[in-house]
Structure 1
Amino acid sequence: MEERREMRADNFHEFFDHWLDEQNQYLRQLVTAAEAYENRRRQIQNIHRIHAGNGHRDNGEHILSQIVERVVQHYEKYYEAKSRCENQDVLAMLSPSWRSKLEDAFLWIGGWRPGMAFMLLLLLYSKLGLQVEAGLAELMRSVPTGDLADLSQDQIRRIDELQLMTIDEEKRITEKMAKQQQKMADSSMAELSHVVTEMIRNNENRPEEIGYNSAQVRPVLKEKEEGLECVLHMADDLRLKTLKNVIDILSPIQAVHFLIAAAELHLRVHEWGRQRDAAAAAASASASSSSSQIAAN
């Protein structure tokens, strides 16, 4: 409850860094849980109790379901905090300073594109399916693996349907965002910019009358920001809904594999982006220093 009261847009960066640390911890838990599940399954096979061991497998799946639930709650925590900050400063959340330039280049309305979830599923399904076909693991050939190579026809059908619905929703939200962006050139903005420009020409450059927080400017821009906030909420809702719907279709071990891949992708891209930005900043500083030395000589 204390965190909810203190969360503000200007300290979301701190929350995000802490959330990433937690995601790293959950990633390790997911990997450990998946390995433990696979080890139990191998033991059951080795003692020829595949069918008699169903109770053990159910217990293992219950453990997996618990960690999947905790990871989903961790994502919910992120979007709840983000939503509160969007209400305070939507522009900061649309162009987050805590993201790297690499991440910024691939953002869709302030976050990851929901359709990426299905690309990740497809890649995992193809990779694991090839492993099974190639016979790289004796266990995979003899019993159902429970991983994403084991998607049933019903699961594939449901994923296809969900993907189509998600793409349609993405398009709808993208169109809404385009309409909001076009409002920056609507009649109210054109008239306001003209009036303020005329005041500047007439040497009436008083911040209280023409600045961002002035009575003339703030209401017009506030309306535009509220429109952006609405679209951003819709995009975040679709992101979280897509994650939950995908997991609902998967078995516990499949959901674990999916969440592992999603966390690995997010964490590594964030890390690579920060390293790239740091290298670019260092190169820029070095070039600036060299230029100063040349000028001094």
Structure 2
Amino acid sequence: MASSSCSSYGIEQLQKGCYNEWMSLQAKHIVDLKEALTSQRSNRNDRKLEELVGKIVNDFQKYTERRSELSHRSCSSYFAPSWNSALENGLLWMGGCRPSSFIRVIYALCGSQTETQLSQYLFKIDENSGDEHDRGGDSMSDLTSTQLAKINELHIKVTEKEDKISKKTAHLQEDVADMPIAVAAYATDVVEADVSVEDALDKHEESMAILMEEADKLRFETLRKIVEIVTPVQAAEFLLAGKRLHVSLHEWGRAREERRVGCARAEDVAAARGGAGKSNRSATC
């Protein structure tokens, strides 16, 4: 049992390393996308953008494949990753984000840019400037009716597939209460799993790994289809927004937890001193 625990810990460290590498790559992608979009506004050349977008999509595919490989060795860590903040874990669906959230990012970008352009038009702010939204019909606010129809159709299909995966997950969660796990837990006061329980838990974890792999494939396919529907500039804007959101949530969650730890330590110090300065701490924490 001890060797099994050590093995699981080693796999979790590999999973954490895989995630950290991906986050570093995310940061690089953000820089590359910003530079490519700035360059495209000057020379109106979509070729470099197309190459970059294609590379980023391929990088995501490689990441999901690596995750799949590691999840089949130990899957539980992906459903409440120790490398995530509580905020991020609270937003997880099958070890990652919902594929449908990709499409919601498009809707948010489209609405935000349209509102900005309208405001600039009304107040004549961008009258004589080469504003970043002035891209000759290539920004997210310039999605055509055909593009919007395709995105809406994709949204419906993706949501249906998400629901199917969620139902399969619910069935697996219900199965935990079945034999032999429930009977073994009831029959003894000793918290130690026998062979039959270990086999049942291994089977459950393997089933969850298969579902997570299915969810990752859906995430990748959704990303790939979105990129096929939109223009290179729109794809770059979408990828940039999504990556900024991912990185920002990670940083916001970590900052919130650091503040909570700081507040808890301040309360412990105050308690040790007999509660002095409590009112000041409550104001900051």
TM-score (norm 1): 0.81
For residues 37-65 of structure 1, the C-alpha deviation after alignment (integer angstroms, 9 at most, x for no partner) is 1122xxxxxxxxxxxxxxxx4xx111100
Q: 1:248 to 1:190 in 2, by over 3 A?
A: same
CA–CA separation in structure 2 for the residues paired with 1:85 and 1:247: 27
Query: Match of 1:3?
Result: none
The aligned amino acid for 1:90 is C
- Residue of 13, 17, 20 corresponding to 2:20: 17
- Secondary structure, in 3 states, of the residue corresponding to 1:216? helix
How many percent identity over aligned positions? 25
- Residue of 6, 31, 35 corresponding to 1:32: 35
Q: Is the 8 A contact 1:86 1:229 kept in 2?
A: yes
The aligned amino acid for 1:238 is L
- Residue of 73, 84, 87 corresponding to 1:99: 84
Unaligned runs of at least 5 residues, structure 2: 1-9, 276-285
Q: How does 1:101-180 map to 2 (within 5 A)?
A: 101-134=86-119, 135=121, 137=126, 144-180=136-172
CA–CA separation in structure 2 for the residues paired with 1:143 and 1:87: 45
- Residue of 57, 61, 79 corresponding to 1:72: 57
Q: How does 1:129-278 map to 2 (within 5 A)?
A: 129-134=114-119, 135=121, 137=126, 144-195=136-187, 197=188, 200=189, 205=190, 211-212=192-193, 214-278=194-258
Q: Which moved more, 1:81-90 or 1:137-146?
A: 137-146
CA–CA separation in structure 1 for the residues paired with 2:254 and 2:31: 22
CA–CA separation in structure 2 for the residues paired with 1:142 and 1:251: 15
- Secondary structure, in 3 states, of the residue corresponding to 1:102? helix
CA–CA separation in structure 2 for the residues paired with 1:91 and 1:285: 31
Q: Is the 8 A contact 2:86 2:253 kept in 1?
A: yes
For residues 232-258 of structure 1, the C-alpha deviation after alignment (integer angstroms, 9 at most, x for no partner) is 111111111111111111110110000
- Secondary structure, in 3 states, of the residue corresponding to 2:92? coil
CA–CA separation in structure 2 for the residues paired with 1:192 and 1:62: 62
RMSD: 2.2
Q: CA deviation at 1:8?
A: 3.7
Q: Is the 8 A contact 2:180 2:196 kept in 1?
A: no
CA–CA separation in structure 2 for the residues paired with 1:104 and 1:143: 38
Q: CA deviation at 1:71?
A: 1.2
Unaligned runs of at least 5 residues, structure 1: 1-6, 41-56
For residues 247-287 of structure 1, the C-alpha deviation after alignment (integer angstroms, 9 at most, x for no partner) is 11111011000001001101111001011111111222222
